[in-house]
A and B are shown apart, each in its own frame.
Chain A
Amino acid sequence: MKVPYNWLLEYVDIEKDIREVADALTMSGSKVEEVIEYGKEIDKVVTGYVEKIEKHPNADKLRVCQVNVGEEVIQIVTGAENVQEGDTVPVALHGSTLPGGVKIKKGKLRGVDSNGMLCSEAELGIADDDSVHGIMILPKGTPIGVDIKEILGLKGGILDFEITSNRADCFGIYGIAREASATFRLPLKEIKTSFKENDENIKDYVDVEVKDDLCRRYAARVIKNVKIGPSPEWMQQRLMDAGVRPINNIVDITNYVMLELGQPMHAFDHRFINGKRIIVRRAEDGEKFTTLDGVERTLDSSMLVIADEKGAVAVAGVMGGLNSEIKDDTTIVVFECANFNGPNVRLTAKKLGLRTESSSRFEKDLDPNLVDLALDRACHLVEALEIGEVVGGKIDIYKNPVKPYTLEVDPNWINEFIGINISKEEMADMLKYLGMKVEVGEKLKIEVPTFRQDIRIKEDVAEEIARLYGYDKIPTEKIKGEAVEAALTKEQRLTNIIRNVLVSRGFFEINTYSFVSPKIFDKIRLPEDSPLRNTVKILNPLGEDFSIMRTTLIPSILETLRINYARDNKEVKIFEVAKTYHPAENMPYEPVKLSIGMIGKVDFFDLKGVIENILYVLGIDKVDYERDEENPGLHPGRCAKLIVRRKPIGYFGEVHPEVAENYEIEDRIYVAEIGLMPLFEAYKAERKYKPLPKYPAVDRDIAVLVKDEVAVAEIEDIIWKIGKEIVEEVKLFDVYKGKQVPEGMKSVAYSIIYRREDRTLTDEEVNKVHESIIKSLSEKLGAQLR
């Protein structure tokens, strides 16, 4: 909220620099987001009186002015057409500075001396654009030779506050002034509300009926003999500084009061209130209504309207209607000052897509007792500006008046809770500045004014004390009390181990969006009936491409590979540890999975090796790899199911060429997806020491020719089975195809290590076992010894 500094100063006598004030208010709880110092760059610009204007001897479009700038009369050449003799204008003297760093120096224009410049509003940085053409003409009677910053009230500038939703009272300048008064412990001045009423009765002008409780209070006054016209300069300036466009004097008064007190008001032209009756009621479903901005809107029965006998004249708390707008010839005005249910105004504004200065205040649930003050203030301004006559009496429908709230708080508790030590008298003093009445006894008995509906419990009071005392003055203390055990859970620890293994193997961790497009399932050739197609859907997604929660990490890792590949990053090894989301009875099920992806100079066994590394580090040994031909996303001949303790917990392999094409990658892609929970369950923390071997080992190599289809695992199974008594290790060291190996065959070579724990093996023993291994390989797999 924008607060012109001089407006604030009207209610508190602060004698401090605007920046100092901004800092202090920020620290006491009213955060200043920005300090706008309009006049900051203006220097040596004064008011001048144009005494005489003559034609320029050498140029038709230029004129030569004699300007009295107080101590002297100087000659200035101008091109502006709107300046007349007798005008008072801003004059930039020789050596002056204007916004944007413009420097003005004396010189000659078409041969005539010019000792400065007459300024427009744009040149002074007041108007954003050149909407106001020509030189700025100041009001008659403006003193001459005075710094323009003083005249324009530019000294000080504007404070832009961020008001939090709990402080409805601070949506008015007077509320901010109260905060300033409490911050600096300076008195808050009273707001002027006096005015005279004529001896007529408002009842003869208008009648009000409130039909719905969404309107908690409805008050009205009538002003007659209204002279519509522009409001005075100072008022217009303040409205503009606060970000509100001046309209005419009556509308400007309602806005001025809203800015000052935070209470929105509305002015109706009395002529257009049919039947001279105002009815506050729910709109009818489908009721059409044209708001002040000229847009026809369709209302519904959740919305509250202000209506006359014929139809709506305003959407309550949001915007008035075009049908009862104040016009240049308006003579009788009805001021509405009401209180509406906040959440309802908020919903209405949201439904209509029409958030206004008014609705954004009402939605905070304003204090109904603000109504009197605001309505009186408006009448006071009407009288002060001499633009109308207040008709006697007011209408005020207020069924359930809100009363101040009282609570008792133990000052010792406050000190303990915050960790400070201040006297209860000082606490009481702070609270009084905030408009509270405080009785100091053993406890503080506090009467909270109705405009502070955010203060209900002792913690609320503690916050008021803490912030006015100063958060920065609260000491810093370590937490006392018993030490709490801090440790990673097993899952957290193992996740870190897995990440570290992957990093040590050259993989980079990635982080991708959890929501994806429903199209990805076809892209990875997921079967139509796959349970993974059953997803958690977002009702209001950012777009279809982000509309479902992912059930697999594979599309995300493929998409990341695609992005990298397209950018010429052709050697990429990445992984992600993230959740997938699966619909379940109450809450979705969110398992954590590991995905791995790579492209470049790698193959299936690079990927398998990494997975084996992970399993090794986790001490998981009972692992099987099964060919996985039912996974259409992967190459049927190059993918495997990872089976741990007889349960499939993931899969890995080369991506199906069609899927690779879908992701625009012309290289082979390898991916894996493994559930982390099953890995953690299989994790074996225990390791037991086995005595180091005492007796020597015997190392024998074996090379056999087998058919291509024979898996090395089959060969190894036989070696282990036959030699289980004395085989210690089986190492595959060569698989060869080509010269000297017949078509459809491969040569497989192993080094087998034999050892007994209890004695040295004899050659005969080893030979016997070795021979029967060879025999068994030949019988069962048709292997030929090479």
Chain B
Amino acid sequence: MREQLEKIKLEALEEIKEATNSQRIDEIRVKYLGKKGSLTTILRGMGSLSPEERPIIGKLANEVREFIEEEINNALSNIKNKERELKIKGEYIDITMPGKKVEIGGIHPLNKVLDEIKDIFFGMGFSIAEGPEVELDYYNFEALNVPKNHPARDEQDTFYISENLVLRTQTSPIQVRTMEKTKPPIRIIAPGRVYRSDAVDATHSPIFYQIEGLVVDKGITMANLKGTLETFAKRFFGEKTRTKFRPHHFPFTEPSAEMDVSCFVCGGEGCRVCKGSGWIEILGCGMVHPDVLTKGGIDPEEYSGFAFGMGLDRIVMIKYGIDDIRLLYENDIRFLKQF
């Protein structure tokens, strides 16, 4: 019996080795370990053994059974691995074929850049204010120290709706409107459409966008103005951006300045975009004129503030290298798809 067991073990091993698919392994399992399998048959004949031999042969038979089971399991997992590998090999696809897309649209470049600018100012604690586009002459001009017949009115060709109603020529009327509604501290930006009766050409549009900014609080200084706008410039144009503040004049700020940024196209070396100067004029700014604070119901002896305004269209055009402002308002889909 001992020999029989050894023989079964060897035979089974031989057959397992030769098996190439899982079906054959199953057959082998049945042949040796099944109810009518050879090993089972032998165990049934154990009754004829002496009581001394029975535990020894029993133990041996179990060992053989465990051995065959293990071999079968090993073989099975090998074969499964092979079969899986084979399956995988047959399933190669051309991964360079195009993906299945849902067509996605896009935000207009003006709003895309505006969103970016808004995010930067959010990060600095600014909220967004809004105001009417058909504006009272009072807010657009008079409250900003530009009375009727002021020469500055000639510089901004104004569309009139009536004697006292204009299409706002700038976003600055939001300054006094905001001050009337809000107690300091004030920290807002106000983007929006503005209107000037310019004839249309590659650099002029009768409608364009400005972004106004206003900060009013106790102890606001010109150093704060520089700090805020410099931070904006670095976040928007890149950390290496340098800024230059030049004195200027606006009726509603005092002192007033214009801010240039180092050309982000050439880095300040001089190129076509910056007309060789290495600098690009970006915005006008200044400390809020005490008259304007007063008109907004804020005591200039207690509070001070700064304001700034920039043209969005110009920034968008420079940023994307767009050479004709009309493209922004014409909305050719091939243009819009580029942003």
Contacts and interface: CB of A to CB of B under 8 A. Distances in A.
A164 B251 CA distance: 10
B249 A165 contact: yes
**Chain B interface secondary structure, helix, strand, loop or mixed?**
mixed
A168 to B, nearest CB: 10
Interface string A559-595: 0100110010100111000010100000110100000
Interface in A538-577: 538-542, 546, 549, 560, 563-564, 567, 569, 572-574
B195 to A, nearest CB: 8
Nearest to A513: B207
Given A167-B249, A540-B159, A541-B159, A418 B221 contact: yes
Contacts of A579: 133
B187 A484 contact: yes
A340 interface: no
A744 interface: no
Contacts of A539: 159-162
Interface string A495-506: 000010011111
Contacts, number: 230
Contacts of A742: none
A630 to B, nearest CB: 29
B29 interface: no
Interface string A235-260: 00000000000000000000000000
B167 interface: yes
A479 B224 contact: yes
Interface string A748-782: 00000000000000000000000000000000000
Contact of B249 (A164, A484, A514, A587): A164
Nearest to B304: A417
Interface string B307-339: 000000000000000000000111111101100
A481 B161 contact: no
Given A29-B247, A467-B247, A569-B334, A419 B287 contact: no
Contacts of B160: 538-540
B152 A514 contact: no
A459 B255 contact: yes
Contacts of A536: 134, 161
A350 B151 CA distance: 11
A542 B197 contact: yes
Contacts of A474: 222-223, 226, 245
A466 interface: yes
Nearest to A500: B107
Given A475-B226, A508-B106, A510-B331, A347 B187 contact: no
A466 B222 contact: yes
B132 to A, nearest CB: 6
A567 B221 contact: no
B227 A463 contact: no
Interface stretch (A225-233, A286-294, A485-493): A485-493
Given A463-B255, A509-B336, A503 B227 contact: no
Nearest to A499: B107
A476 B134 contact: no
B67 interface: no
A139 interface: no
**Chain A interface secondary structure, helix, strand, loop or mixed?**
loop
A472 B244 contact: yes
A473 to B, nearest CB: 10
Contacts of B105: 502-509, 573
B22 to A, nearest CB: 36
Most buried by B among A342, A481, A482, A488: A481
Contacts of B336: 508-510, 574
Interface string B259-302: 00000000000000000000000000001011000000000000
Contact of B193 (A342, A481, A485, A514): A514
B185 interface: yes
A150 B228 CA distance: 48
B308 to A, nearest CB: 13
Interface stretch (B30-38, B78-86, B87-95, B122-130): B122-130
A28 B111 contact: no
A733 B76 CA distance: 47
A538 B224 CA distance: 40
A83 interface: no
Interface in B151-205: 151-152, 154-155, 159-162, 165, 167, 185-187, 193, 195, 197, 199-200
Nearest to B336: A508
A484 B216 CA distance: 11
A563 B331 contact: yes
Contacts of A515: 206-207
A590 B329 contact: no
B97 interface: no
B223 A419 contact: yes
A679 B145 CA distance: 40
Contacts of A540: 159-160, 197
B46 interface: no
A506 B336 CA distance: 12
B108 interface: yes
Contact of B107 (A363, A492, A503): A503
Interface in B45-74: none
A465 to B, nearest CB: 9
B217 interface: yes
Contacts of A512: 329, 331
Given A504-B104, A506-B103, A514-B207, A31 B246 contact: yes
B339 to A, nearest CB: 9
B111 A509 contact: yes
Most buried by A among B102, B136, B150, B336: B336
Contacts of A513: 206-207, 329
Interface in A344-376: 346-347, 350, 363-364
A504 B101 CA distance: 11
Nearest to A28: B247
Interface string A449-476: 0000000010110110011000110111
Nearest to B224: A479
A302 B141 CA distance: 24
B254 interface: yes
A511 B111 CA distance: 9
Interface of A: 26-29, 31, 164-167, 342-343, 346-347, 350, 363-364, 416-420, 457, 459-460, 462-463, 466-467, 471-472, 474-489, 492, 499, 502-515, 536-542, 546, 549, 560, 563-564, 567, 569, 572-574, 579, 581, 587-588, 590
24 contacts: A26-B246, A343-B149, A364-B151, A419-B222, A460-B254, A462-B287, A467-B255, A471-B226, A472-B245, A479-B227, A482-B185, A484-B185, A492-B128, A502-B105, A503-B105, A503-B107, A506-B104, A509-B105, A509-B108, A536-B134, A538-B161, A542-B200, A564-B333, A573-B105
Give 3 nearest A-B pairs by CB, closest first.
A419-B223, A463-B255, A29-B247
Given A481-B185, A542-B197, 4 more contacts: A419-B222, A477-B226, A484-B126, A508-B333
